A and B are shown apart, each in its own frame.
Chain A
Amino acid sequence: GAVVSQHPSRVICKSGTSVKIECRSLDFQATTMFWYRQFPKQSLMLMATSNEGSKATYEQGVEKDKFLINHASLTLSTLTVTSAHPEDSSFYICSAPEWREGNQPQHFGDGTRLSIL
């Protein structure tokens, strides 16, 4: 079964709306989570690293005031796309590494397809 739950799976909304996406780790604690964006026919691009109890680390070129990240607990990170515009339409995917001795699987959520009209 899924070890990372991401909601919602699809959002269609008007320009100017703010959209919140949740990413939950199930059955394990995630002090770090990652947020990616994927445009059609392209690879995944890391947007930011979400750190439990501290500020997120954003990649170069990603506006932190546009993409608000909150990681308030060991199992939940949220990404809020503020005042979304059509160019923000994309597939957003979160992931969480699970720390295990000798291994570290990276679990991905099912993704959120955001369409801004």
Chain B
Amino acid sequence: ELKVEQNPLFLSMQEGKNYTIYCNYSTTSDRLYWYRQDPGKSLESLFVLLSNGAVKQEGRLMASLDTKARLSTLHITAAVHDLSATYFCAVQETSGSRLTFGEGTQLTVNP
């Protein structure tokens, strides 16, 4: 059974600071997703990471994937209040297209 663990689960940070969210998973996979969820809303796709060593950046967010370590990171650079949300990683099994989600990281960026 595929297990996905995120840490931290709660993150409170000041504007301008940097931080990293970690996503570990238990079995082989070569496709990992990062999503953002605002309160009361559905998921917004941030990144799809398809291969070992993949790195993608969009604005203040950068995601990477190490399939050998079964680890993905979401790095936040110079955080701003607008980044406050819950962030989920999700791992796709090698067979089929079902996703297993991490517990989510609730990020609060304080002025």
Contact = CB atoms under 8 A, between A and B. Distances in A.
Given A43-B88, A108-B42, A111-B41, A34 B102 contact: no
Given A44-B88, A103-B50, A104-B31, A97 B101 contact: no
B33 interface: yes
A32 interface: yes
B42 A110 contact: yes
30 contacts: A6-B42, A34-B98, A34-B99, A43-B102, A43-B104, A44-B88, A45-B101, A46-B98, A46-B99, A46-B100, A49-B98, A93-B43, A95-B99, A97-B97, A102-B50, A103-B48, A103-B50, A104-B48, A104-B92, A104-B97, A105-B45, A106-B33, A106-B90, A106-B97, A106-B99, A108-B42, A108-B43, A109-B42, A111-B42, A113-B40
